[in-house]
A and B are shown apart, each in its own frame.
Chain A
Amino acid sequence: MPSTDVILNTTTAGETVICYHCGTACLNRNIATDEKFFCCEGCLLVYEILNKNGLCDYYKLQNHPGLSQIKAGRQDKYAFLDEASVAAQLYSFTDGNHTVVNLYIPGVHCSSCMWLLEHLQKINPGITDSRLNFTSKELTVRFNLEKISLRSVVELLATIGYPPYISLDNTQDKKPKGNSARIYKLGIAGFCFGNIMMMSFPEYFSLTSGMEKQYTELFRYLNLGLALPVFFYCASEFWINAWKGLQQKMLNIDAPIALAILITFTRSIYEIATHTGSGFLDSMSGIIFFMLVGRVIQERVYSSISFHRDYKAYFPIAVSVLTETGTAIRNIQELKENDVVQLHHDEIIPADGMIVKGEARIDYSFVTGESDPVIKEKGDTVYAGGRQTGTELTICITKPVASSYLTSLWNHHSFQKNKHTKNNKESAVHVLSKYFTYVLFALALITGIFWAFRDPSKILPSVSAMLIVACPCALLLSATYTNGNLLRLFSNNGLFLRDADVIEPLGKIDNIVFDKTGTLTECNDKTALTGAVFSAEELASIFTVANSSQHPYSRALVRFLGKYPLQRVTSWQEYTGKGIEATVNGSRIKIGSASFLGIAPTPDHANVYISVDEKKIAAFRFYAGLRTGVPDMLRQLRNKFRLSLLSGDNEREKELVQSLFDSGGQLLFNRKPIDKLHYIASLQEKDANVLMIGDGLNDAGALQQSNVGITLADDINNFTPSCDAILSAGSFTSLPAILNLARNGRAIIRFSFFISVIYNVIGLSFAVQGKLNPLLAAILMPVSTLSIVLITTGLTYFAARLNGLGKQSKPEVN
């Protein structure tokens, strides 16, 4: 038997082949058909289905378009869709027969996906039609309930590699329907603005005196007619927002805009009706048009990111409940005390309960941050939010879902706090606009009093002109456009902000708090097997044994070993917390702790020890290594920010990270979620602006307490608690550049603010004298708006280029 080094085993057959379906490198050539190789049975299955149905064009459109099927789901994962009440919530239309359902499919990524998903009717004739919205990754399937059930449709999608994402979110609140109303408004405002502008040209060039009076009048009334839809329809959101603000006795940003629009419109009507002038309808519709453009851009940027998700999205939507008659599928809201629930591998515990049967290996990393699973036995209590990583587990619910530990953690007052009031100082835009309004009123009052003594006939023209020309539109636009642009630039670089209000606090950050596990570190491939050298046959046996266990160490070992054919096992015994002992192909394999094997631990405290027939002994070590680029990134950051580290884990990896943090920062281990929250609160008491970067539900309190909370996600469609932003893991190292850009963003806003203040000063200086004529207003207002747009857009792109964030393409999203 030739003994081969373990590192080389992936290339046993010489040249590496890649999976025909998904393009992953195949570990061996065992899985093949039609001279095509596949990495796993799942990929082969997909290929066979497509081949049988004549859908192999799928592979012609793109090379290896499929998604790896290595992680296959449980058989009855979608059984809950058989429950009529669950299924009915998901239908967007049904007459009991013809049914339409919208499914969100995160796996969609190329034109082959689209082609396949739109040819579902070839695979199952029960499906009449399917149509994919590529941008929003939503598949609309029409099918006949008599021929195929919703569960079968979903299972079909899962089998061909496109499992839909179904969670409570889908059923509880339906997504608001598009923003087409705003697009209508934009179209109409643009149309009216252009035409009003055109018909105001004679007035601009003072050609009216030479013209016949009838034309002047005609143009003015046409302008008025065109301004009506702008005033009543396009500007409606400003009215509504301003009114809502006033009801709460708040002067929000829309209030002065609404006031300016109202005054402009009334004065224009007055002038036109009394034949004293042409009014300022062109300025009014122009301003409304440009402001709508700004809001549409801003909305577009994050419409494709489904963002605000709460914990409900991570719980299974329904669970298997054991009843006297058998197993029933029940909605988790309907769970009651004393219900007996069956949990499968990788399912989240929906509510606190007591173990009735089976052995629990609960991964509480969402709740406590500790990544090692907790082992519980019959009679022990398990808490909601944990994930079962062992096999089948039966628990008896002791508390209904709402009052469980996780829910109460989530309902802690810091989670409830309104995010907008979190940064107690209001954003600069709001402060300045409020300030602006008062200053404007004061100035208007002084002007009015002044003219009351000098020339009472000028009170009305001058005061109204002031309110018209001093509309904070340019001020508002500078923030809208800068932030809109920054949002786009950030999302191009893998940072997805909840909304634009996050940018400002992000630019003020002076303290950064990192979570360790899953944020700075990841379970990487820096693994090593030292000691005896095993033959391929022995490795296959070790693989077989490790593969049968769900322990993270076993999983790490399986990942490390790669793929081997499963061997015949004659005896198998797992000793809780110690290891596994098994007989495979006649040789006795032991995998476990040093004491379990009866040997002395290696000096580097390896995680797992392996012995074959108690003769060949090897130590397996895997590291929770730092993510690539993290040391460099921390070195860059620590010059500008005070860094600290909070970890729910033990101090095992302290030396790994200690050198990377400067002396000013703190490294704290064994922190519970609430400790993390308190730590951040204590920093904030010292007037620090804290950025928290974490990865999971256990950091939720800290994320919320911090001025800006960023969740690091390996997959942006993945698990994310409510936070201010999601940073995709691939872009983690661009964090310094991102923070820099946010700082620049603040400077850009201040600069364009300054410019628009100058415009306002010029405009007001004419207005107070009662000399504002339509031409001046028509030049000043659009020019100020346009120049603000150009300045902000240009400067943000320039700043992004300076920070090296300019040209980056969208990160790969699986």
Chain B
Amino acid sequence: MSVLFLLVFASIAVAGGFLVAFLWSVRTNQFEDQEGSAMRILHDDPVPNSNVSDNK
């Protein structure tokens, strides 16, 4: 039965890990701008000498 001690503390530690991860993500403003990042990732890095072309 003493395995229960281990399990209980292990589960709390794992859950605590996720809690810390959550608090960290809030702290680093990852919930600040949820639309922006989704768009930013689609922007290509500037290509050198990219010529101006139409999009029509």
Contact = CB atoms under 8 A, between A and B. Distances in A.
A133 B32 CA distance: 8
Given A180-B26, A184-B23, A199 B8 contact: yes
Interface residues of B, number: 32
Contact of B26 (A56, A135, A183): A183
B36 A114 contact: yes
Nearest to B18: A191
A34 B52 contact: yes
B33 A56 contact: no
Contacts of A175: none
A757 B36 CA distance: 44
A136 B15 CA distance: 32
Contacts, number: 71
Contacts of B43: 57, 61, 111, 114-115
A237 to B, nearest CB: 17
B15 A191 contact: yes
A562 interface: no
B6 interface: no
A215 interface: yes
Interface in B23-43: 23, 26-27, 31-36, 39-40, 42-43
Nearest to B37: A134
A54 interface: yes
Contact of A187 (B22, B36, B39, B54): B22
Given A180-B27, A187-B22, A218-B5, A54 B36 contact: no
Interface string A199-218: 10000000000001001001
B8 A222 contact: yes
Contact of B16 (A184, A191, A215): A191
B1 A136 contact: no
Main secondary structure of the interface of A (DSSP, over half): helix
A51 interface: yes
Interface in A166-210: 178, 180, 183-184, 187-188, 191, 194-195, 198-199
A118 to B, nearest CB: 8
B19 A114 contact: no
Given A34-B52, A133-B32, A222-B8, A114 B40 contact: yes
A111 B33 contact: no
Contact of B39 (A36, A111, A119): A111
Contacts of A636: none
B5 A134 contact: no
Contacts of A114: 36, 39-40, 43
A234 B35 CA distance: 28
A290 B50 CA distance: 53
Contacts of A118: 40
A183 B53 CA distance: 46
A115 B18 CA distance: 34
Interface of B: 1, 4-5, 8, 11-12, 15-16, 18-19, 22-23, 26-27, 31-36, 39-40, 42-44, 46, 50, 52-56
